[in-house]
Amino acid sequence: MKASILIFSQTGNTLKVSSSISKGLEICGVEVDQVSFLHRTRWKPDNADLIGIGCPVFENRPAEVVPHYLADSGFDFAGKKAFVFITSGGSPAKSLWHLSEAVTKTGASVIGGIQLRGCSSFPTLFGLFPKRPNGKELERAEKFGRAVAASIMNGESLASHYKIEPDQGGIFYDRVGPILNYIKKKTTPLPISDSMKCDLCGNCIYECPTRSITIENKAIKFHNTCIVCYRCWQVCPHSAITIKFSPGDGLIERLIYGEKMERFFGDIKPDEYVGTNLYKDALARNLKLKYDRNNPTAEYDYIERK
């Protein structure tokens, strides 16, 4: 039995979940191949019996590059079983269901899914849900992997909490998310690179999920396929990339995804710790994500300024 998992994970949150799911599958004897979305040309799922797709949530929907890729690549997974998983630093709304629908359109039969919190690295919501997914959540992910393996190999039914229903998730965030995404794209111009600071290290090119960044005439150029995910801004080691953030430094986002709104319209549990929004420090470049191409992380350091 072989499983092939495609993971889009910019800061390692979704990757941690995928690794835990894989551990659960492997304990049950399933051979697992994990491929990063950034290396999607290397993904060869045709010989797999089981397909896994995981990504973070962008504006209450699965990161748009993943459903678009599944649709545009012409995959035919008819007769294959599949599972999905997401991580979310804000309300996931119906993201798990939307991702499931995208996978279903490839012909695969989605047997279940899991959604967990992930520490937010989005600049205007930076630091919310710190140190998530935590140990208990990763144990849940491993248990999910074992349950998926048992379902595939032994015909056991998945527990009801792994089932994906179209009515799960809040209606408010499911509807408002695409609107906010549209506003963000319309009000946020393409990033700008300062050629005096840029040393053409290539971090931004490597990390861009839409391949919207190229080097032309020894300078970084951004193209209109940019989805304004801000990853290039985060990984530039010399702060050479400038972005005009959506109105009021993300005021709309900070209001919509504030703790009171999330508790009222979202799915935050009464005793769940949300954390402090560190957007002022993030936008002022007083803190910066740690960066390693091979080991993405949501950890960060404060920068001491002289």
> Is the pLDDT confidence value at 30 over 60?
yes
> Is the pLDDT confidence value at 245 over 90?
no
pLDDT for the residue numbered 167: 87
> Is the pLDDT confidence value at 20 over 80?
yes
CB atoms within 10 A of CB 235: 20
Calculate the CA 188 to chain-centre distance.
Answer: 20
76-112, pLDDT tens digit by residue? 999 999 999 999 999 999 999 999 999 999 999 999 9
In the chain, where the domains are located: 2-171
Write down the residue that tokens 């936008």 correspond to: 283
pLDDT for the residue numbered 62: 98
pLDDT for the residue numbered 206: 97
Which amino acid would we find at residue 182? Y
Confidence of residue 305 (pLDDT cuts 50, 70, 90): low
CB atoms within 10 A of CB 118: 27
What's the sign of the alpha-carbon dihedral 252, 131, 17, 6? positive
Confidence of residue 117 (pLDDT cuts 50, 70, 90): very high
Using alpha carbons, select from 60, 51, 102, 56 the residue that is nearest to residue 79.
Answer: 51
Residues 204 and 192: their CA atoms lie apart, in Å, by 12
40-83, pLDDT tens digit by residue? 999 999 999 999 999 999 999 999 999 999 999 999 999 999 99
CATH of 2-171, one of 3.40.50.360, 3.30.300.160, 2.30.30.90, 3.40.50.620: 3.40.50.360
